[in-house]
C-alpha cells in the first residue's frame, strides 16, 4: 500500500514539475508576444493540471485509508515533504501567472490603443475623396 502511495506521490510531483514548466513557457511566450504559442501551451497546461488533480485525489484517498501502523517515520517525512512541495509549486505557478496576466494586460491595452488610433485616422480621412485627385 505505501509503495503504491509513494509511487503516486512521485508521479504527482513529476506532473507538478511539468505544470510549472508549462507555466514558465507561457510567460516566455507572453514576453515575446507569441499569442498562438501562449494559447497552445495554456491548453497543454490545462491537460496537465487535470492529470495533477486526478493524481492528487488518488494520493489523498490513499493517505486517508492509511492506519497508524501502515507508515513509518520515513514515510511520514515523505508525506510532510509532499505537502510542503504542493505549497511551493502552487506559489510559484501563481507568481508566474500574475506576471503573465500583467504582460498580457499591457499587450491588450497597447493593441486597443493601436486599434483606436487606426479607427480615428480612418474617420479623419473618411470624407476625403481620393478619386478626384490626380
**One-letter-per-residue 3-state SS of the chain:** CHHHHHHHHHHHHHHHHHHHHHHHHHHHHHHCCCHHHHHHHHHHHHHHHHHHHHHHHHHHHHHHHCCHHHCCHHHHHHHHHHHHHHHHHHHHHHHHHHHHHHHHHHHHHHHHHHHHHHHHHHHHCCCCCCCCCC
Kindly report whether the global pTM for this prediction surpasses the value 0.85.
Answer: no
For residue range 46-86, list pLDDT tens digits in order: 999 999 999 999 999 999 998 888 888 888 898 899 999 89
Residue 128 has a pLDDT of: 60
Residue 42 clears pLDDT 90, i.e. is over it = yes
Which domains occur in the chain, in start order?
Answer: 2-121 (1.20.58)
For residue range 48-57, list pLDDT tens digits in order: 999 999 999 9
Of 15-24, 68-77, 101-110, the range with the lowest mean pLDDT is: 68-77
Amino acid at each position: 500500500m505505501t509503495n503504491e502511495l509513494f509511487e503516486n506521490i512521485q508521479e504527482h510531483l513529476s506532473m507538478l514539475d511539468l505544470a510549472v514548466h508549462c507555466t514558465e513557457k507561457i510567460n516566455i511566450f507572453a514576453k515575446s508576444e507569441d499569442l498562438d504559442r501562449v494559447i497552445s501551451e495554456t491548453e497543454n497546461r490545462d491537460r496537465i493540471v487535470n492529470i495533477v488533480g486526478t493524481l492528487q485525489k488518488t494520493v489523498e484517498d490513499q493517505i486517508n485509508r492509511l492506519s497508524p501502523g501502515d507508515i513509518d517515520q520515513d514515510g511520514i517525512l515523505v508525506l510532510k515533504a509532499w505537502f510542503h512541495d504542493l505549497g511551493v509549486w502552487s506559489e510559484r505557478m501563481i507568481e508566474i501567472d500574475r506576471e503573465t496576466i500583467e504582460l498580457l494586460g499591457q499587450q491588450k491595452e497597447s493593441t486597443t490603443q493601436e486599434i483606436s488610433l487606426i479607427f480615428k485616422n480612418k474617420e479623419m480621412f473618411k470624407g476625403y475623396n481620393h478619386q478626384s485627385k490626380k
